[in-house]
């Protein structure tokens, strides 16, 4: 009796789907309508889970952090570090994609017309966007998928829950925790359908390309520039920006990078921040001298709310697609992208490909359609592994910097041997 062959890993299934989609769209452009519906359904599933996932994850994460230890001490330090490094990552991504313009020359006009919401977003002033972060009708914010308002409500609810004492507070925290776990399971299930969705999306987009093989090669060149943009941004943030933060706290960046090597390899191979938590905790405590109390708070929290690499990647994707659609982002839309990426980073699950959900959130915030998202999935697995490395490394940098402010003696202190 022969045993069934093991199922291919998801990233291998996606690679096969990409190749099959390119071949199908190139050789059978007149029949892409037969499979395009799979891509449409996949995008609808992502949009379906995006809003509740962000809301429950953010509320649960903040509430749990507040119950674990005072937000006014360790939590405040972590929040400031997370916001600083994430904002630096976002600005790095925006700067590089603006400079290199990887989306220029990618023609997606045949895929779909831009929605009216793009024009509406352009007409809004910065003050109006900031005011609308506070919703006057929470139910309306959910119905219209106003993500900045939804994130604001989630942060407010999480902060209040963290200060509630007694059975009711604990019960509500359990509710949000259970809801976030349920939605993460649903997200994992949706991601399992990614190969079919990618096949449908790629087939339709390749089939709509006019100009034959020449245009296809130009598209491949644009994707190459896009990949270089993302990789360069991630490398700069990890090796330069985070090193500057470590130096400001009088820590040795090279020594820290060397001691965290095993964690970074684990992050690269698994493409999930959650899987690295045990390894990271052990290395921080035994190799660098971070206290168990600090490490056990910062690392699990960071795996949920600190996504430097993911935030940078999401901004590059959004601006890449905007350039591909021929849309020039104005100042107000850039601010919207920065705010949405910064806040939605809190709600990005530490599982492979979870950033797809957040990308739909940011695209919706600036009024861009989801058409073209299938293109970035061609190289998403490799970039997912790299941005996970940056996410995890950012968590470890936060842990050692905060430990230093608490007076802990670390092996990577500039004065230590």
Tens-place pLDDT, residues 266-308:
788 667 776 677 778 888 888 888 887 778 778 777 776 788 8
Mean of the per-residue pLDDT values of the chain: 77
Cα–Cα distance for residue pair 404/250, rounded to 1 Å: 9
* Unique residue bearing structure tokens 């949706």: 190
Residues 309-340: pLDDT tens digits? 888 988 888 888 888 877 777 777 788 888 87
Give the pLDDT score at 184: 74
- Contact residues for 345 (Cβ-Cβ < 8 A; gap 6+): 86, 305, 306, 307, 310, 311, 358
SS3 assignment, position 227: helix
Give the pLDDT score at 117: 42
Burial class (CB in 10 A: 0-12, 13-18, 19+), 318: buried
Are the CB atoms for 134 and 152 separated by under 8 Å? yes
* Unique residue bearing structure tokens 């190799």: 287
Give the pLDDT score at 25: 81
Find, among 291, 260, 270, the residue nearest to 395 by Cα.
Answer: 260
Give the pLDDT score at 105: 65
SS3 assignment, position 175: helix
SS3 assignment, position 329: coil
Give the pLDDT score at 122: 45
Give the pLDDT score at 247: 93
CA dist 264 → 28, 84, 91, 201 (Å)? 43, 22, 23, 32
The residues that bridge with 251 in the sheet, in sequence order, are 413
Cα–Cα distance for residue pair 199/204, rounded to 1 Å: 9
Extract the residue ranges of the chain whose pLDDT is less than 50.
1, 3, 109-123, 212
């Amino acid at each position: 009796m022969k045993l069934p062959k093991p199922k291919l890993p998801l990233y291998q299934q996606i690679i096969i789907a990409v190749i099959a989609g390119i071949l199908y769209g190139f050789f059978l452009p007149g029949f892409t309508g037969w499979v395009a519906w799979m891509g449409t359904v996949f995008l609808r599933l992502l949009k379906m889970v995006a809003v509740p996932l962000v809301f429950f994850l953010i509320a649960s994460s903040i509430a749990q952090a507040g119950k674990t230890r005072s937000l006014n001490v360790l939590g405040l330090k972590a929040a400031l570090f997370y916001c600083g490094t994430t904002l630096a990552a976002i600005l790095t991504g925006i700067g590089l994609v603006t400079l290199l313009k990887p989306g220029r020359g990618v023609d997606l006009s045949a895929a779909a017309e831009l929605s009216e919401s793009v024009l509406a977003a352009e007409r809004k002033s910065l003050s109006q966007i900031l005011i609308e972060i506070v919703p006057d009708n929470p139910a309306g914010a959910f119905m219209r998928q106003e993500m900045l308002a939804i994130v604001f409500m989630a942060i407010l609810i999480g902060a209040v829950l963290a200060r509630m004492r007694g059975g009711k507070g604990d019960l509500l925290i359990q509710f949000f925790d259970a809801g976030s776990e349920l939605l993460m399971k649903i997200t994992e299930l949706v991601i399992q359908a990614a190969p079919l969705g990618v096949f449908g999306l790629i087939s339709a987009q390749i089939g709509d390309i006019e100009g034959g093989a020449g245009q296809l090669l130009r598209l491949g060149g644009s994707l190459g520039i896009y990949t270089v943009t993302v990789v360069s941004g991630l490398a700069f943030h990890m090796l330069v920006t985070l090193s500057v933060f470590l130096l400001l706290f009088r820590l040795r960046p090279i020594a820290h990078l060397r001691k965290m090597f095993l964690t970074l390899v684990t992050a690269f191979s698994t493409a999930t921040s959650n899987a690295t938590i045990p390894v990271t905790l052990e290395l921080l405590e035994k190799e660098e001298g971070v206290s168990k109390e600090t490490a056990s708070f910062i690392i699990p929290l960071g795996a949920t709310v600190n996504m430097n690499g993911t935030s940078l990647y999401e901004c590059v994707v959004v601006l890449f697609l905007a350039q591909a659609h021929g849309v020039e982002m104005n100042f107000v839309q850039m601010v919207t992208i920065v705010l949405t990426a910064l806040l939605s980073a809190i709600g990005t699950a530490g599982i492979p490909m979870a950033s797809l959900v957040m990308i739909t959130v940011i695209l919706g915030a600036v009024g861009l359609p989801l058409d073209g998202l299938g293109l970035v999935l061609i190289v998403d697995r490799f970039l997912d592994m790299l941005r996970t490395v940056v996410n995890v490394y950012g968590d470890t940098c936060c842990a050692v910097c905060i430990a230093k402010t608490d007076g802990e003696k670390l092996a990577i202190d500039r004065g230590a041997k």
